[in-house]
Amino acid sequence: MAGELNMSQRGESYRRDGSSSTYFGEPKSEPTLTQQQNQPLKSDDSGLYVDMMKSEGVRKEFLAEVQGRRRLEQLKAEQRLIKLDEDRANRLAKMQLENQLMQQKALKYKAESASRKQLVDELEELMIKKQQEEIQRLLREKAAAEKDKQARIESSQGRQQCKESNLEEDRVKEVERKAMLDARRAEVTLQRANALKQLNKEIVDKRQRQINVQERLEASRNNNEAARERYRRERERKHIIEDVQKPFLLAEDKQRAAIKLQKEKKLEDARAAAHERAVLKERLASMDTVRQSNIKAKDEDRERRMKEQALMGGSESLSLDDPFFTAGSRKVETHGNGAPQGYGLVRMEEVLAKDHENPRDRKSANDAEHKNCHKEREITEDRREQETLQKGLKYREMEEVRRLEEWKASEQQRKEKRALIRSELERCRDETVRATQAKKISDYEITNRLEKAREQKEKERETTRNSQLHTRLRSVSNAMAIPHLIA
Q: What is the mean pLDDT of residues 87-98?
A: 90
How would residue 81 be classed by pLDDT, with cut points 50, 70 and 90? very high
pLDDT of residue 395: 65
Specify whether the CB–CB gap between 443 and 101 falls below 8 A: no
Give first-to-last CA distance, the chain, whole Å.
Answer: 168
Burial class (CB in 10 A: 0-12, 13-18, 19+), 257: exposed
What angle is formed at CA 119 by the lines to CA 473 and CA 468, rounded to 5 degrees? 25
Classify the phi-psi angles of 159: left when phi > 0, otherwise alpha if psi is within -120 to 50, otherwise beta.
alpha
Q: How far apart are CA 195 and CA 451, in angstroms?
A: 38
Which of 409, 471, 483 lies closest to 191, judged by CA?
A: 483
Q: In which element (H, E) is residue 430 found?
A: helix 362-475
Return the minimum-mean-pLDDT range out of 148-162, 311-325, 442-456, 460-474.
Answer: 311-325
Angle at 305 between CA 303 and CA 306, to 5 degrees: 65
Distance CA 231, CA 224 (A): 10
Q: How far apart are CA 33 and CA 38, in angstroms?
A: 6
Select the highest-mean-pLDDT range: 145-154, 236-245, 316-325: 145-154
Q: Mean pLDDT throughout 379-404?
A: 70
What backbone phi and psi angles, to 5 degrees, belong to 21? -95, 165
Q: How far apart are CA 193 and CA 199, in angstroms?
A: 10
Report the pLDDT value the prediction gives residue 234, as an integer from 0 to 100. Answer: 81
Residue 340's DSSP bridge partners are: 334
Could you give the CA distance from residue 70 to residue 68 in angstroms, rounded to a whole number? 5
Task: Give the range among 23-37, 213-227, 378-392 with minimum mean pLDDT.
Answer: 23-37
pLDDT on residue 16: 47
Structure confidence at residue 304 (pLDDT): 82
Over residues 19-46, the mean pLDDT reads: 51
Average pLDDT on 392-398 reads 66
pLDDT(77) > 70: yes
Q: What average pLDDT does range 429-452 have in this prediction?
A: 83
User: Poorest-confidence range of 52-56, 142-146, 260-264?
Assistant: 52-56
Give, in order, the Cα–Cα distances in Å from 205 to each of 210, 369, 472: 9, 141, 17
At 363 the pLDDT is 60
Strand partners, 341: 333
User: How far is 89 from 83, CA to CA, in rounded Å?
Assistant: 10
Amino acid letter, residue 389: L
| Integer angstrom CA distances of residue 1 from 5, 78, 417 | 6, 89, 83
What are 472-485's pLDDT values in tens digits? 777 655 444 444 44
DSSP 8-state class, residue 161: G
Report pLDDT for 208. 84
